[in-house]
Amino acid sequence: MKKSELRQIIREEVQRLKEGSIGVMDGDQSDVFSALVRRNKNKSAKQIAKIAKKDDFFEEIDIRDLENYAEEMKNFFDVVG
């Protein structure tokens, strides 16, 4: 692996971290999922994960991960308001 390739990988990873990604989600996915959870805050985490899984945007993310993220976000929104 060349130095330039390694630098590019590091830049991409830093950019991903700056965008506020969540686990296996990139920044855009986490923003969309956050809005989805906020809009459906009265539903269970499992129902929210099923809604998200219907969209191709979240197809590579496991349903259990989506459920966990939804539960964490719901708890966060309860605290923050």
pLDDT tens across 48-72, in order? 999 999 999 898 889 999 999 999 9
Q: What does pTM read for this prediction?
A: 0.69
The string of DSSP codes covering 19-78 is TT--TTS-HHHHHHHHHHHHHTTTS-HHHHHHHHHTSGGGTTS-HHHHHHHHHHHHHHHH
Distance CA 65, CA 45 (A): 11
| More confidently predicted of 11 and 56 | 56
- CA 23 – CA 30 distance, rounded (Å): 9
pLDDT at 45 > cutoff 80: yes
Separation of alpha carbons 66 and 57, rounded Å: 12
Give the mean pLDDT of 30-48. Answer: 93
Residue owning tokens 């259990």: 64
